[in-house]
């Protein structure tokens, strides 16, 4: 009889960051008392954490919040991988594997975000409709269920089948938000801040914390990709950069261009938001964020950390310690999170919110 017990966690990540994703899930599993080992290959775009105890994959996902993970785009607890799927009837094999895991509130048939993985996109579309129909016929799709079924095709004959829990996964299929590049935005970097706001300020938080009419500072602003996102949400922005800002953006009347060095700039008064996307050493940016927060210059911040080629996971942890130490010295408590977003490259995005 086929063993469908979820014994591993499949995590999607940016290709080239498998090592960091593996280190992070290993630390998380150890923290909640689950032992296992990682299987990962460079540039595959995913890793698996195989648990020594049967069923422990679900235990990890119950005890670890997905939003804590920096390098994982999406995750699910998977049964042993299916291989040798019959090309004439893949649906029946997938249905058999899914039956022991159901019911489900939704289905996502997925591929990896790599060149090889994208070749599976046509097959995913082809399989999705008949598999969904088969699940409905078996009574396995129910709106009241609180878990989603994932099917990940590695190639035409191999797939993972597993589940993720409602409220503890990425809200986007494969962890990839579908954002359009605005024609009016001055640079493609605008998508990074757009995604960061969607990720860190989910639900009503964007309306609550990013209020129109308040003041923000954008350090390293030129030509204005991040400033544009703030302006379109109704914020006034002091854009700090020695480089030129986009003329149309400046004509909005909501931007003051301050020519100067981003790291030495000091605001004339306290502001609601600090945003920063500067190509410099991550520790320098972390120190700057800690300084702004501890001095009360800003209440919240979104910032990018450009990571080194090696020890990238450790570099983020060191930056976390810098900021937390600065907050502790000032007697402040705050929400501090990091995420490698889909539109990030060799970097992660940080979010800081000072608690009242």
Active site residues: 306
Distance CA 318, CA 142 (A): 44
Structure-token pair, residue 27: 């630390």
C-alpha angle 10-118-225 in degrees, rounded to nearest 5: 90
Dig out the tokens for 144 from the structure. Answer: 């009241």
Find where tokens 């003041």 sit.
215
**CB-CB contact of 47 with 25 (8 Å):** yes
| Sheet containing 74-78: order of strands | 36-40, 46-51, 8-12, 74-78, 158-165, 147-155, 106-110
| 239 token code pair | 């854009």
The Cα–Cα gap between 160 and 79 comes to: 7
* Tokens matching residue 55: 């069923």
- Residue ranges of E strands in 171-295: 215-219, 236-240, 255-258, 271-276
Please say whether the beta carbons of 102 and 140 come within 8 A: yes
Distance CA 289, CA 54 (A): 43
Q: What is the DSSP string of 318-347?
A: HHHHHHHHHHHHTT--EEEEEE--TT-SSE
Q: Could you tell me which residues are beta bridge partners of residue 353?
A: 300, 335
d(CA 11, CA 78): 10
């Amino acid at each position: 009889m086929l063993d469908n017990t979820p014994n591993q966690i499949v995590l999607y990540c940016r290709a080239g960051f498998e090592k960091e994703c593996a280190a992070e899930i290993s630390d998380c599993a150890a923290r909640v008392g689950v032992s296992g080992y990682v299987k990962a290959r460079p540039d595959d775009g995913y890793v698996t954490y195989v648990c020594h105890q049967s069923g422990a994959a679900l235990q990890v996902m119950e005890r670890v919040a997905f939003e804590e993970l920096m390098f994982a785009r999406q995750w699910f607890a998977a049964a042993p991988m299916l291989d040798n799927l019959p090309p004439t009837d893949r649906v029946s094999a997938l249905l058999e594997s899914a039956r022991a895991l159901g019911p489900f509130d939704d289905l996502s048939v997925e591929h990896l975000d790599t060149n090889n993985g994208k070749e599976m996109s046509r097959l995913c579309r082809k399989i999705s409709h008949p598999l969904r129909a088969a699940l409905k016929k078996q009574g396995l799709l129910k709106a009241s269920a609180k878990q989603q079924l994932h099917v990940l095709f590695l190639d035409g004959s191999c797939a993972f089948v597993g589940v993720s829990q409602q409220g503890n996964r990425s809200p986007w299929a494969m962890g990839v938000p579908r954002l359009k590049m605005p024609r009016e935005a001055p640079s493609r970097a605008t998508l990074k801040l757009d995604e960061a706001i969607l990720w860190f300020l989910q639900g009503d938080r964007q309306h609550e914390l990013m209020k129109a009419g308040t003041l923000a500072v954008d350090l390293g602003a030129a030509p204005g990709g991040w400033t544009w996102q703030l302006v379109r949400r109704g914020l006034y922005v002091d854009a700090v950069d020695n480089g030129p800002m986009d003329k149309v953006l400046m004509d909005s009347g909501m931007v003051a261009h301050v020519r100067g060095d981003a790291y030495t700039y000091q605001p004339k008064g306290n502001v609601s938001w600090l945003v920063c996307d500067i190509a410099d050493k991550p520790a320098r940016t972390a120190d700057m964020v800690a300084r702004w927060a501890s001095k009360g210059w800003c209440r919240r911040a979104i910032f990018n950390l450009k990571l080194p080629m090696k020890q990238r996971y450790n570099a983020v942890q060191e930056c976390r310690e810098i900021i937390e130490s600065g907050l502790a010295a000032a007697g402040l408590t705050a929400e501090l999170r990091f995420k490698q977003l889909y539109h990030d490259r060799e970097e992660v995005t940080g979010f800081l919110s000072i608690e009242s």
